[in-house]
């Protein structure tokens, strides 16, 4: 089935160019030119990827990305004319997966989309740990563990980007409903309980690794090892 890419861009010529090249690559595309319409569309239609301009009428790309990351792990490539390092870091810190600065080649952007989908499809195919959202469980080979809502949300977040380090602040912002009653120790406690459960799946493999002074990351156990 073809992937659905949402293009959020208020410059018509730029949007038209991106849409044409993506359709040439076989993607289904939808174009939105106002930031106020994005969150509801994503929640309703659930596209497979978003190409998101930073400066938009109605609502800016940073606030859109930040709100989407509370409930969705849809891949987001942020597009902007701004090029400062600080602005790129802000975009990535609120959950964007990649960052492209104007002017850029539509061919290059389409190739980035292709590479992104191939890379994550391979990771999903190779990863021996599978999550079941309906049952709040994790399956590894022929073994299962039951997870709490928080444990599932933690593991699901970390597993989206194997090897990516998630800070405690990022985890608190994106996992817990009430940030006010959560501390670093709360995150560490839930991680500790989750790791203990996962040790019953494989006693020697650390699915969740601690990165000193930075946070946590997911370590894939590949099939065939």
148-207 pLDDT, tens digit per residue, is: 988 998 998 888 888 888 888 888 877 876 655 667 788 899 999 999 999 998 888 899
pLDDT of residue 50: 96
Quick one: pLDDT band at residue 16, thresholds 50, 70, 90?
Answer: very high
Interval 20-68: pLDDT, tens: 999 998 999 999 999 999 999 998 888 989 999 988 999 999 999 989 9
Residue 127, pLDDT above cutoff 60: yes
Instruction: Report the alpha-carbon distance of residue 53 to residue 8 in Å, rounded.
Output: 6
Nearest Cα to 9, choosing from 39, 31, 37?
A: 31
CATH of domain 128-218: 1.10.10.10
Q: What is the pLDDT of residue 143?
A: 85
Q: At what angle do helices 61-68 and 85-93 cross, to 10 degrees?
A: 30
Residue 99 has pLDDT above 70, yes or no: yes
- Per CATH, 4-123 and 128-218 having the same topology is answered no
Per-residue pLDDT band for 140 (boundaries 50, 70, 90) equals confident
% of the chain beyond a pLDDT of 90: 34
Q: Best-predicted range by mean pLDDT among 60-64, 114-118, 138-142?
A: 60-64
Average pLDDT over residues 108-121: 79
Phi then psi dihedrals of residue 186, to 5 deg: -65, -45
Fold of 4-123: Rossmann fold (3.40.50)
Provide the pLDDT for residue 193.
Answer: 94
Each domain of the chain, given as residue ranges in start order, spans 4-123, 128-218
Per-residue confidence (pLDDT) for residue 107, from 0 to 100: 83
Q: Which residue has the tokens 């061919």?
A: 107
* 8-state DSSP, 127: B
């Amino acid at each position: 089935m073809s992937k659905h890419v949402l293009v959020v861009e208020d410059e018509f010529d730029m949007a038209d160019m991106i849409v044409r090249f993506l359709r040439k690559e076989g993607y289904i595309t939808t174009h939105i030119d106002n930031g106020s319409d994005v969150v509801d569309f994503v929640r309703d239609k659930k596209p497979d990827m978003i190409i998101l301009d930073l400066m938009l009428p109605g609502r800016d790309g940073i606030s859109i990305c930040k709100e989407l990351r509370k409930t969705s792990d849809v891949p987001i490539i942020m597009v902007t004319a701004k090029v400062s390092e600080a602005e790129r870091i802000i975009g990535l810190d609120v959950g964007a997966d990649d960052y492209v600065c104007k002017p850029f080649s539509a061919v290059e952007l389409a190739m980035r989309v292709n590479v992104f989908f191939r890379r994550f499809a391979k990771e999903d195919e190779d990863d021996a740990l599978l999550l079941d959202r309906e049952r709040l469980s994790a399956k590894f080979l022929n073994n299962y563990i039951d997870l709490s809502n928080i444990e599932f949300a933690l593991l699901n977040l970390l597993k989206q980007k194997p090897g990516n380090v998630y800070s405690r602040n990022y985890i608190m912002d994106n996992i817990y409903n009430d940030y006010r009653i959560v501390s670093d120790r709360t995150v560490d406690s839930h991680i500790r309980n989750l790791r203990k459960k996962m040790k019953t799946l494989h006693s020697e493999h650390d699915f969740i690794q601690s990165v000193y002074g930075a946070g946590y990351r997911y370590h894939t156990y590949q099939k065939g090892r």
